Structure 1
Amino acid sequence: MQERLRHGWPWLLYVLQKGEGMFRVILVDDELLVRKRILLGFDWQAMGYEVADDVGSGAEALRLLRQKQYDLAVIDIAMPGINGIELVKRLREERNEIPVIFLTGHSDFAYARQAITYGVSHYILKPVNEEEFIGVLGELHEKLARQQREKLRQEAQDKKQQTARLIVESNFFSELFHYGFAAEREDEIREKVGEMGVNTDRDYRIALFVIWRYRREDLSLEGRYRDLYAAGREAMGKQAGLTVICDLYDHSCIVFRECEPGEEKRQDREFARMREILAGKLSTQVHCGVSARGRGTGQLVKTYKEAVSALNNTKIFTEDILVYETIARETENRYQVPAAEIRHVQACVGNCDKAGCETAVREIFSHMRENRCNYENILQNAQRLLLGISEACAVSGLELRWFMGGYRSLDAAFEHMASLGEVTAWFCRMTGDLIDSRSFRAGEERSLPVVQKACRYMQQHCGDAGLTQAGVSRQMGVTAAYLSAVFKKDMGVSMTQYLTAIRLERARELLAGEGVEVYRAAELSGYSDEYYFSRCFKKYYGISPSQARRRK
């Protein structure tokens, strides 16, 4: 039979060459010997099938067909109890359209007529003729394979459409929340948010979730929506009105809930439970900020900003979730870091006192914590401290941006840090690297020729997505390890950080100066992935590429 399979049936060669999946078969016959002959007498795997179950009664077959998924049923007609005809009749009544091959010892055409009634076109007489049976299996395999390919094609098309819809919805809300509400578009906005499931004619609240794993790993929009919806349904119940949006600009997740007066406490517990579920299932930190109640289209942006404020302050007060009303009481505090403390940091930088500088920075942030400064107040004081460090940097002939860990602005750094402790550590690293760089410049001779050539080469070729540190080293005629060491010593930053900076600067000039499209700016700046480029740009400059383009 193996020879016949290899040489007599072209469909089998097609199956093997195309690598189609194995189709699951259930075999139903009350005669054990007949079942075993069919089960063991054919090379099912070679024909692209797997006999998943073989049973001796129609009742048992019906039970399995209701529980499991099969692609083909081979059924004997004449069985006690539920016979083959009755079994298929019940399956069709239950909308199970599984393909069926009938086996029978009778040649009466009445059976064939009944079989046709239930959509069964394959009818094999016992004893089973090998070639006839193999031919029928081949015909059905081709049909099943076509259906499988069409199903996969349709699923892929549906996924593309779903992704496009999610991007459109997310982009709409991202634009609305980051660029503001235009009163003349109120009716249009009300209609669009209504289509997305948000009824602004009723009271609502916004919960903003930051899932730190999403900021460090690329995950599709579909994956993020699945995670949020699953956690929301588990925490709030399947009947709860829930609208989920992903912010394309800062990678946070926005959840809308309708809220009647008096429901706030219950909803706070549900949002807290949702946060716990996400943190547990994704094994990552999750923070949540919840707004007060809002009503009407005109309050969407205000309500969103309340949620942002609550979320930002989770970093300061080391809470996993905060409600806006809780932190609103802290807004009266306007603590200002004494100028003497900032001058002390400047003096430590000037004297290359690394340990003293770290101590001074940590004391400044400790005083802000003791004075219960909120996020906005700490950001203002941190900006003053950064300005003071920048002045010390300029005295040394250095540019502070090279020491900011890849962040273009203080806002961008704060946005991507999960706690006040991380912010403090970032300032300490920045001043420490600055002091190390001053020491190198003062005490060692610089390796300018090769470093200058490397800088010039990267500036000229930064639009090449394939440009690597090893490639630059080869062009300079030195080893990668040597160039990396002297480059970091002379420039105060790594080659990777330098290349990222000039690429993003080139992209900013293209967007703001020449107004090119975002995808084209990414290509011309050496980025092959527009989505990754947008993330890097936002992290570095604190605004999205689209925002930079609008500000030209």
Structure 2
Amino acid sequence: MRKLLIIDDEPIIQEGLKHVIPWDEFGYEICDVGINGRDGLNKIRIHQPDLVMLDIRMPGLSGIDIISQLKKENFTTKFIILTAYSSFSYAKKLMGLGIEHYLLKPIVETELIQVLGKIEQERIEEQKLQDQLASYNKLNEEWTLRALLEGKQDDLDEPLLRELKGKELQLVRICGDLKQSNNSWLKEKVAENTEHIKLIRKDDFDHLLFIQNSPVFMKLFLAKMRKVFRENGNQTIVLLIASVIDRPEALFTAYKQIKELRNFHFCFSEKQILHYQEFTTCTKVMKKPDEGQNRRKLYHYIEFGDKRNIKKIVSELELYYRTSHFSKERIKLELFEWCVSLFDFIQENYLDINIVDKNVWENKINSQINLQSIMQLIVNELLLISESLHGGSPTKGHIVDKVKEYIHIYFNEDISLKYVANLFHYNSAYLGKLFKKETGEYFNVYLHQVRIYKAKELLMSDKYKVNEISRLVGYSNADYFYKNFKQYENMSPKEYQMKQRKGITS
């Protein structure tokens, strides 16, 4: 119901107006009665009625005085002026104040109903204009916000720029196809907080612009939003959050950060919230693994069917790309080229091996949605190639040669008889006996001999310290290295080094 306030200094008129028509049937309820001009003005301020019926001539303040004052105070109340005088001068003053509705006393019911109908029609027309203006302003605001994201500075909505100027702003992208119910919820909540949040649709994504909010407000809003989304079927929504900016023109920079975060998310697909500041300050860029060295090592791992080290090399490569800050297009291209180079290297040594077609492989790489799925694809393909190269367990005579070859290549790694036996699909006890029979040495003794031999080569150079050499040849414990070296050479590594250098200089 709309509120009606009656203002007249004559009690009989007051009572008459209360009952002249059934007000509730016309959508009004009488909220109060003003007994004179000043009393009426105060009650208008208190009740803020939709419609006021007031006498034009009252002691203290006239109806025209009241309307003039309320216009200064930006009241949008509708008025019906009551007068006992059909005066042109009054009518002229009322028209100057934008008041078109006045009735002569005594009030005729049909005339009052007619005026109420005109007022209702005015409201309908005013509402249409307000809706059109609101729609225009909304479109203009949306265009301006998108233009700011694109770095445009011309023909922007000045009121919006003034609203944003000098305030802290933070942009958030919502990644994922929202259910209709979640989309409606989001629009409703943004409309409720329009001074603090703007919704921007750009490049097929919804973006939230938080305005002058505390970090707690944004955190709570996003937490609530994600909870609602999950409950309504959007469990995998990802949020990309740009750094805080302090002027609307910097939204272009914030949007660039959002696009960079998309590349980060390609590499960190397990994360559902990505902050730009987190990745730029905490993610240390790794040095790229040596391609030639890695290719040779990986080739041997594939040849020996060494699943553990195949996965290790691929994991190291994945870690490099996770910290690289490269675009997903560049990552996919580099990984495709890396694989092709490795495949060609394998093909050169095994002409009969069936390697996946390059075009097929390129399509497989490009169809993956994140870095993790690409790396898993690569691991699976390398294991498949390894199985075809390995072709089952070697024969008894050949297995010892393969084990010796493996030791000479991987002496510097943490290897054991058990691990090598598993690698070649042999029982460790049986392989140990076979190795002793063929070489005359136990597996561990042979491994130590190779390591000591390699250490002696390194000791001939002054490039490394003794402690460094112990690690380079596979000893994690320097004391253990000293003990074994002395056992085999009857002198310490340092003594051996000094002796060799003396021999060179003499």
Whose Rg is larger? 2
TM-score class, shorter-chain normalisation, is: 0.3 to 0.5
Using the size of structure 2 for normalisation, the TM-score is 0.43
Using the size of structure 1 for normalisation, the TM-score is 0.40
